[in-house]
């Protein structure tokens, strides 16, 4: 853990100073010059730092940009999606969320509650299963088949309610329907009494990077009503995709 702490400190030093030599880094983190050299070498091997010239000073490398890009995309989708969620929450009266994949789960990044929402349940930051949530179905439906196999194998298909899809055959059929109609639904598959629907959000490159979801009590957000509201949800997701740079 000490080496990890030191490596992070080196990155912070370079971020503050712009550039620094081995001796400067060694002094700043209070280690021998050889230790600083090894740390910088390890960071350089991963593209986190780079040298300006042979034996020159070090500065942050483009590997940092690669890592930051993953976070930036998530920040962008919530920043651009907040207004859309607020508008749809008012229009539909239901709770709106923006969700993305996190390992073999779905995580909700932002939430806006509609006026009709009964409970104050906060889904932000909460990890939920992929196979029995509308957001998870949308995200799974647009994955590369090999990646889909990996995630399903890792997560399994546990039964959450009597309505949960627990066989790969039924899940594959459901994901095909999601791709065909452009949105996903869950009818009391994750929680009894809770229904939800989701539409895909695409990046500038056309990749599905998030799901825009609406959820509510099953007695009000019925399967029939979700089909009726689907065009509004898809319109909102498409608008968010355009804000993310998608031109399709």
User: How many separate helices (H) and strands (E) can be counted in the chain?
Assistant: 8, 8
Q: Which residues of 171-199 are buried (b: 16+ CB within 10 A; e: fewer)?
A: beebbeebeeebbbbbbbbbbeebbbbbb
Cβ atoms of 21 and 37 within 8 Å: the answer is no
pLDDT digits (tens, 9 = 90+) for 61-84: 877 766 665 665 666 788 888 999
Question: Cα–Cα distance between 80 and 64 in angstroms, integer?
Answer: 24
Q: Which of 203, 198, 162, 194 is nearest to 178 (CA)?
A: 198
Q: What average pLDDT is seen over the chain? A: 88
Alpha-helical regions (H) of the chain? 2-17, 22-29, 33-45, 63-92, 134-141, 145-155, 168-181, 223-243
pLDDT, tens digit (0-9, with 9 covering 90-100), for 104-158: 889 888 889 888 766 556 778 788 999 999 999 999 999 999 999 999 999 999 9
21: helix, coil or strand? coil
Q: If pLDDT is split at 50, 70 and 90, which confidence band does 164 have?
A: very high
Which tokens go with 156?
Answer: 């399994």
Distance CA 8, CA 2 (A): 10
pLDDT at 69: 58
Distance CA 162, CA 181 (A): 25
Check whether 194 has a pLDDT greater than 70.
Answer: yes
Integer angstrom CA distances of residue 143 from 9, 35, 148, 208? 37, 43, 6, 8
List of domains in the chain = 2-61 (1.10.10.10), 70-243 (3.30.450.40)
Q: For residue 64, how far is the Cα from the chain centroid? A: 19
């Amino acid at each position: 853990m000490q080496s990890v702490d030191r490596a992070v400190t080196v990155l912070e030093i370079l971020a503050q100073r712009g550039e620094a030599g081995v001796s400067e880094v060694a002094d700043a983190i209070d280690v021998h010059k050889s230790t600083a050299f090894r740390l910088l070498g390890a960071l350089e091997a991963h593209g986190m730092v780079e040298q300006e010239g042979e034996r020159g000073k070090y500065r942050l490398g483009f590997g940092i940009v690669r890592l930051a890009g993953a976070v930036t995309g998530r920040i962008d989708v919530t920043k651009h999606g907040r207004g859309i969620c607020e508008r749809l929450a008012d229009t539909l009266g239901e709770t709106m969320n923006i969700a993305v994949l996190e390992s073999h789960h779905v995580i909700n990044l932002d939430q806006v509650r509609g006026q009709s929402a009964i409970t104050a349940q906060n889904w932000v930051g909460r990890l939920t299963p992929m196979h029995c949530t509308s957001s998870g179905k949308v995200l799974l439906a647009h994955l590369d088949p090999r990646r889909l196999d990996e995630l399903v194998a890792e997560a399994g298909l546990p039964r959450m309610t009597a309505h949960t899809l627990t066989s790969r055959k039924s899940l594959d059929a459901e994901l095909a329907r999601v791709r065909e109609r452009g949105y996903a639904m869950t009818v009391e598959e994750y929680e009894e009494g809770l229904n939800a629907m989701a539409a895909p959000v695409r990046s500038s490159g056309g990749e599905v990077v998030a799901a825009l979801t609406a959820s509510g009590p099953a007695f009000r957000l019925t399967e029939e009503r979700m089909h009726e509201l689907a065009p509004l949800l898809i319109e909102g997701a498409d608008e968010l995709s355009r804000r993310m740079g998608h031109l399709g």
